[in-house]
Amino acid sequence: MSTDQPPPGQPPEDDPFLKKPQEPTPPSGGSPYGPPPSGGGGYPPPPSGGSGGYPPPPPPPPGGPGGGYPPPPPPYGGGDPYGGGGGSGMPDPLAGMPPLADFGKRLAARVIDVLIVGVPLYLIQFAFNARRYTVNTNQGEDATEIITRSYSGTGLVWTLISIIAYVGYDWWFTKKNGQTLGKKALGLRTAMLNDGSVPPSNAALGRAALLWIPTLVCCLCLWPLALIVSMLIDKPYKQGLHDKVAKTVVVRANT
């Protein structure tokens, strides 16, 4: 291997970053690129016409600032799925949506669904003589009886079976076509708020879980009451808490 080094201050011949390209030597008193051609600098004259001879810019597309393209269609139910609408210049949140279901029909459809699932469960439970709760009676200090209830072993099993039955029933029919048997009997269906489609599996499952699990585990009377109140006070879509979670609405199936 050679140990010769280039002289100090002089770049090596094969160093591409330090070599300078050789520039042509300009003639005395002239430009390095040679004398300009004669005839006004050698550039062709601009074409005749207004604005310096250049062609006019193309006309703007029709339709104003939008570029002539139509605006995208609003989602099923208007703009924002939870927007108020109704304001000046705001789209109607219920535009394009089938009529919302009447509260009375929704309640009747739910009663039908409860009977469809609950009656067979009760008959099976009665046949096995299973009790969900153990009732304990204790004597208080002032000779009063204190009655307490607690889940029995079989009670926990039957509660789990009931959750699977009610949630599975509601989940299956909602994801299938948006209609439980009760809704189908009364001409109602569950639909996604944003586009009116049949709820997908995850939305149907979340809706059914929030509808039934609190009712069956701890709040047999209070939770259905909370759902009823939420449907009555919600505007404009009449959504219960379970509808809010799944982003669904209940509408008429036959309009």
Closest CA to 161 of 125, 134, 129: 125
Q: Which of 120, 94, 113, 84 is nearest to 207 (CA)?
A: 113
Q: Which residues contact 163 (CB under 8 A, 6 or more apart)?
A: 212, 213, 216, 217
Q: Which of 171, 191, 173 minimizes the C-alpha distance to 182?
A: 173
d(CA 76, CA 58): 38
pTM of the model: 0.61
Domain ranges of the chain: 108-252
Q: Given this model, what pLDDT does residue 65 score?
A: 52
pLDDT 10s digits, 20-37: 555 555 555 555 555 555
pLDDT score recorded for residue 15? 44
Distance CA 115, CA 112 (A): 5
Q: Which pairs count as long-range contacts for 225-229, CB under 8 Å and 24+ apart, including other chains?
A: 228/107
* C-alpha distance from residue 117 to each of 169, 170, 172, 205 (Å): 8, 10, 13, 17
- pLDDT tens, position by position, for the chain (255 residues)? 445 554 555 555 554 444 455 555 555 555 555 555 555 455 555 555 555 556 666 666 555 555 555 665 555 655 555 554 444 456 777 888 899 999 999 999 999 999 999 999 999 988 887 666 665 666 656 656 666 555 556 778 888 999 999 999 999 999 999 999 999 999 999 999 999 999 999 999 999 999 999 999 888 889 999 999 999 999 999 999 999 999 999 999 975
For residues 9 and 51, what is the distance between their CA atoms, to the nearest angstrom? 56
| pLDDT tens-digit readout, 181-215 | 999 999 999 999 999 999 999 999 999 999 999 99
What burial class does residue 247 get, using C-beta atoms within 10 Å of its C-beta: 0-12 exposed, 13-18 middle, 19+ buried?
A: middle
